[in-house]
Amino acid sequence: MATVVHRSHITITREKGPTRKAEIKGFAEPVFYGVHGGIKDFYKIEPEEEHAATLDHIVGAVGG
């Protein structure tokens, strides 16, 4: 069996509306997820503050 080299420890909580806060072990500042642009238009919601969607982070991780 292979040796585990990393295990992610993340706690995600819903803040308000579509906004979620991810606390990642090892980082002092949380990461916020939400909606913006075409995504908020599609779901017909207007968040208090726009944040990158989880999809944005996935695309960035694959492309980077």
Query: What is the pairing mode between strands 10-16 and 31-33?
Result: unpaired
Angle at 37 between CA 50 and CA 43, to 5 degrees: 90
pLDDT for residue 30 is more than 80: yes
Residue 56 falls in which region: left (phi positive, over 0), alpha (psi -120 to 50) or beta: alpha
What b/e readout covers 49-60, taking b as 16+ CB neighbours within 10 angstroms?
ebbbbeeeeeee
d(CA 35, CA 64): 21
Q: Is a pLDDT exceeding 80 seen at residue 64?
A: no
Average pLDDT, the chain: 93
pLDDT of residue 3: 96
Kindly list the domain boundaries of the chain, sorted by start residue: 10-63
pLDDT (tens digit per residue) in 43-54: 999 999 999 999
